[in-house]
Amino acid sequence: MPSFTHLHVASAFTAHHGTAHPETLVAAAVVAGADAAAITDHDGIFGAIRHVRACLAAGIDPIVGANLQTRDDNGQLSTVTVLAHGHNHGAGWAGLVRLISAAHSPRRRQHTLHGTAHRSAWITPDQAPAFLSGETGPVATVLLGPGSDVGRAVLNGDRPRARALLEAWERRLPGGIAVEIVCHHTRPGTAASLQQAADMLQLARVQGVPVVLTNVVRFLRPDDAITGDVLDSAAFLLPLGAFEPHSAQAWLKPASVMHDLAYRICDYAGLRRDDAIDLLAHTERVADWCRLGPETDLRWRHPKVPELEAIGLAGADPVRVLRQRCEAAITDRYPHAYGTGLRRVRDRLSDELATIGGFGFESYFLTVADVVDLIRDMGVRVQARGSGAGSLVNHLLRISAVDPIEHSLLSERFLGNARSTLPDIDIDVESARRHDIYRAVFDRYGHHRVTLLSMQSTYRARGAVRDAGAALGLDLAQIDRIAKNIWRFNPADFRQALETKPELRDVAAQVKTDAQLDLLVDLTARLDRLPRHISMHPCGVILGDSDLLSLTATQPSGMGLPMSQFDKDDIDDAGLLKLDILGVRMQSSIAHTLTEIARVNGATAAVEGRLPVDAPYVAADGRVDLEQIPHDDEPTFELIRSTHTLGCFQIESPGQRELLGKMQPDQYEDLVADISLFRPGPIQANMVAPFINAKLGYAPIIYLHPRFRPFLAETYGVLIYHEQLMRVLADCMDISLAEADEIRRALATDSAAIEARFRARTAGRVDERGRRLFRDREIDRIWTNVAAFGSFGFCKAHGASFALPTYQSAWLKQHYPVEFLTGILEHDPGMYPRRLLVAEARRLGITLLPIDINASSDQYRVEQVSPGIKAIRFSFRDISGITDVELTRILDGQPYTSITDLYERARPSRPLMMRLARIGAFDSLTRDEHGQAHRGGIIAYVRQLTARTHKKAVMPQPNQVPLFGDEVLVDAAVPDPSAEERIATDLEVLSTEVDGHVMDLYRPMLEGLGLTHASELLGLRSGTEVLVAGVRVATQTPPMRSGRRTVFISLDDGTGCIDVTFFQEAQQEAASGLFTARMMTIRGRTRRTGERGISIQAEEAFDLMKLWRDWNQSRSRPEMQE
């Protein structure tokens, strides 16, 4: 059986070009009998780690390279493929990745056309030797193929130039050049034609340069060329037929086909059969040079963390430093621990340090602690989340504020003794400071040790429809209509969705009669989950040792800092430290809230918050230490039980508010359970109802076994957490918690094998007198629960770390509602638009103050409008179109004495002046003797003031008094805007209403329909028929236990939030408006969700805008008839 190694293969990670994932390509190579497989994506190593992983799993050797553009002195772009040599202690890999990084250097970027087909990364030919020359020879082979400068000269028939270019490449990199022969049977005179292949082969023979045969693979199978055409369309931003199509021959051809091709090329070139054999043999020789040894070339899975000197510990013993830091923190973290309690802390610390030491991870923990200290020293709120909260070491290092002992968390869930790669510690910070933190980390550890993480955005159904539709040349409006009705499914499921989704009913009918739309469905499915583009990961930062940039290629991120071409799935195998420094808007909101509490209240902060005057967590200057607030504050739980949790972290969604209403939390552990239960797994596993029924006394608390009572009591006997399952397995099987976690992880995939082991070990457990601890019937019941639990539970450490900011936000809303809503409006942390938060402020009786040219700033601020009364002042930043320069000038010039004063000194643009006038920002400057501002006259005056064609920028002299004030120049006779016009202006300029509500515009129609307002719902009995209307503020389709889609829609009607549930029948009735109608009228029945909660089960839904148009038309018909 002939063998052949494809050396030029683009995977799907060459966006808008490749059609197969690395794993699929490797599997195909194995089936074809290959013992090595290559990946050579364009401009990067995006899929390289996946490729190496797949090769290792398949038992073949990985080859890694990249296709790069070269730019000559005349600006002409060509392409070469660089293959890293292997088994040279990483020299080939390092040269390749550093060359790729150089290609992406921002200093070398130039303006390119739009579309990924027009690549922006490039190198000059003279750069190659600087990166690819080693001490004993080249560390990589450069393939000069049809698209190279040599190939193009051959194609143009310029043999002298082709010879000169080839000789220049040989001088640059002696022994590291090969001519790449490619034949796609394109028409003569074009790239990859038989003629060009033969001519290049002859040139190489004359010059004595090695040759290799490749197929420049981008498809797995011939049929994938159709997918490639759609990707090319997206790459060129042109419909099919408007650009030169690529060859359909670029697929992973079998060895026999490639051998026949070699013979054909040589025959066409007038060469012998032996020459074809030599061509194939040298292809394999180059492949042999390039076989990587992952262990030696990549230090595969070996941890690579910053050196000790990078964290200020040069020459120190990390084992001793970590122990000392942890032991020194015990007194601070556990000031009241003594005797047995203190011994428990110390014993656990010793166990964790032993596990950490077994892996040699001390430097890792010290590095993460150093990063957290850096962030905290910047005055930024920081909090760890995830399974890392289960570690006492993390708590003592102040990485995590969650006490793992208090919450019975297990470090083995975070770092078991079976782990071989660095654990993940995720950190939440203030979103407004995230970029500042990134820059500080780069400065602290050096740009040679830090990069940002990248992510591959893949095609989902909506994007796939848009690109496939554009490829077919469909009308943009038609594509938009289809795309807007698509709601969260994969492109491969498009045809099935047409049959089952009521919102796609009209589209399905058209597909049956329109061949192009039918083709659109097929093309959309072909794009399923293919990478679409690379972008900066929202939170990932990579820290490595000083050789980091020899391991990963980088390119500029959107914020200008270098970004690794690795994504999160590559990090463990690369052995790198990934920190998820996630910008959380709630943390920014909390920070702003705390600042406002101290600024506005000062020494009276405790009294203003209805707290004890000697509360130890409130400083004399009004600063509140949220880490120290009590976790048993009854007013806070009263707020949570009321379900008025809009703005509160994690518990403001319709589903969460319903769960809170049913559960009625009265202790902190209930909040941890609530957050953990509101997840797909626990919902599908039916953990919610048993928990609530047992908690509220509707059902008895039943334990799986009396031995489990100590750790199941907190959840009323219901198995919810991973940590609880680990304890069950450890107790039943007499194994360590670390082993129990490994079994827990395997339950979802290997349940049958685990069952036999579980039953045997559990049945063998006996007490000190030899009596069995578990009877057969008990083993049956325990295993049934363990097997059902599978992967459905939730990590309690995650729940506990989420519960902390959840409780803190609820505490702030309860005790400092004005300051809290100010922070929420400033940073928009939740799932709802600002307009609903404004409505929540009104519900709480909080006064909202409009933008004022002297009183407003670049932030939402609390204002003391009278003794004991606070209000929230809107921010300039909400104004549509305001620039940073304009905002700075306005703030620098405050206060202003008149509109003219503002105009002359702050110099805002005319559009901004008109917006300020229309929203009333100048009202306070022009009030008459009765204290009235005439908005209509102000608008007219500003229009006239800014209409001057030659306005002189005259700076007023000190103490200069204008002849007339603006209040004299404003014409009070000009009509003021109506209430409806003011609402429309607020929505246009601020995207929310300051006074009134958008629903007021539709009152003439709605008053006759018998609407029920949100504020009235709670007083109704369950099952009451109601008609409601409002602006859609949220749409969700969470996983349900039944597996059937349920749609939750929240409406804002100006009096509160209306939560509506659409089951299958109601979805059918709503059809296309289900996801597209911005304003809705819904008929349904009330549904009580606990003592404090109520929602509506929809029966019918209508597009309010369509009803409004129909209503207006019906009113105009009698007039037309008259």
pLDDT tens for residues 219-242? 999 999 999 999 999 999 999 999
- pLDDT value of residue 111: 57
Pick 328 or 994 by higher pLDDT. 328
Find, among 595, 455, 586, the residue nearest to 533 by Cα.
455
Q: Look at 28-32, 473-477, 682-686, 693-697 and tell me which has the smallest mean pLDDT.
A: 682-686
* β-strands 531-543, 450-458 pairing: antiparallel
* β-strands 562-564, 1057-1062 pairing: unpaired
pLDDT by residue (tens digit) across 984-1000? 999 999 999 888 889 98
Q: Which residues contact 889 (CB under 8 A, 6 or more apart)?
A: 905, 906, 907, 908
Ranges assigned E (strand) in 119-190: 140-144, 177-181
- pLDDT value of residue 83: 98
pLDDT above 90 for 1073: no
pLDDT by residue (tens digit) across 819-831? 999 999 999 877 8
Strand partners, 555: 563
Strand partners, 1081: 1029, 1102
Distance CA 1094, CA 1089 (A): 5
pLDDT above 50 for 929: yes
Residue 967: pLDDT band with limits 50, 70, 90: low
pLDDT above 60 for 706: yes
Instruction: Give the DSSP H/E element, type plus range, for residue 864.
Output: strand 861-866
- pLDDT value of residue 530: 96
CA angle 249, 254, 258 (to 5 degrees): 70
pTM (two decimals):
0.91
Spatial contact of 69 and 97, defined as CB atoms under 8 Å apart: no
Residue 110: pLDDT band with limits 50, 70, 90: low
Q: Look at 779-793, 955-969, 1006-1020 and tell me which has the smallest mean pLDDT.
A: 955-969
Sign of CA dihedral 144, 148, 153, 156: positive
Q: Look at 444-458, 594-608, 1103-1117 and tell me which has the smallest mean pLDDT.
A: 1103-1117
Q: Which residues contact 1058 (CB under 8 A, 6 or more apart)?
A: 1014, 1017, 1028, 1030, 1050, 1051, 1052, 1096
Residue 415: pLDDT band with limits 50, 70, 90: very high
**Residue 576 burial (CB count, 10 A):** 24
Instruction: Give the DSSP H/E element, type plus range, for residue 870.
Output: strand 869-873
Distance CA 103, CA 131 (A): 12
1042-1065 average pLDDT score:
90
| Complete DSSP assignment for 252-307 | ---HHHHHHHHHHHHHHTT--HHHHHHHHHHHHHHHHHT---HHHHS-TT--B---
Q: Distances in Å between the alpha carbon of 140 and those of 132, 555, 747?
A: 6, 21, 45
pLDDT by residue (tens digit) across 349-407? 999 999 999 999 999 999 999 999 999 999 999 999 999 999 999 999 999 999 999 99
Residue ranges of the alpha helices (H) in 1003-1055? 1003-1006, 1014-1017
pLDDT above 70 for 897: yes
Ranges assigned E (strand) in 386-512: 425-430, 450-458
Residue ranges of the alpha helices (H) in 561-604? 571-574, 585-601
Pick 374 or 745 by higher pLDDT. 374
pLDDT above 50 for 673: yes
Mean pLDDT over each residue of the chain, to the nearest integer: 93
- pLDDT value of residue 955: 46
Find, among 1093, 1036, 1081, 1080, the residue nearest to 1061 by Cα.
1036
335-354 average pLDDT score:
95
Decide if domain 998-1121 falls under CATH 2.30.110.10: no
pLDDT above 50 for 735: yes
Residue 1117: pLDDT band with limits 50, 70, 90: low
Query: 460-529: which CATH topology?
Result: Arc Repressor Mutant, subunit A (1.10.10)
**Percent of the chain scoring above 90 in pLDDT:** 82
| Phi, psi of 883, rounded to the nearest 5 degrees | -95, 160
Find, among 358, 359, 546, 314, the residue nearest to 448 by Cα.
546
pLDDT above 90 for 931: no
Strand partners, 70: 78, 123
- pLDDT value of residue 1114: 85
CATH fold match for the domains 22-297 and 460-529: no
Residue 881: pLDDT band with limits 50, 70, 90: very high
Domain ranges in the chain?
22-297, 308-445, 460-529, 680-793, 846-990, 998-1121
* Residue 543, SS3 per DSSP: strand
Distance CA 384, CA 806 (A): 14
CA angle 748, 407, 694 (to 5 degrees): 70
The per-type count for the chain, helices as H runs and strands as E runs, is 48, 21
pLDDT above 60 for 331: yes
Residue 951: pLDDT band with limits 50, 70, 90: very low
Residue 113: pLDDT band with limits 50, 70, 90: low
Query: Cβ-count burial of 330 within 10 angstroms (0-12 exposed, 13-18 middle, 19+ buried)?
Result: middle
pLDDT above 90 for 774: yes
pLDDT above 60 for 871: yes
Place of tokens 């729940």: 799
Spatial contact of 869 and 1069, defined as CB atoms under 8 Å apart: no
pLDDT above 90 for 677: yes
pLDDT above 70 for 954: no
Place of tokens 């990166």: 131
Q: What single-letter DSSP state applies at residue 343?
A: H
Task: Specify the CATH number of the domain 22-297.
Answer: 3.20.20.140
Q: Directed axis angle between helix 515-526 and helix 505-513, to 10°? A: 110
Ranges assigned E (strand) in 749-829: none
pLDDT above 60 for 108: no
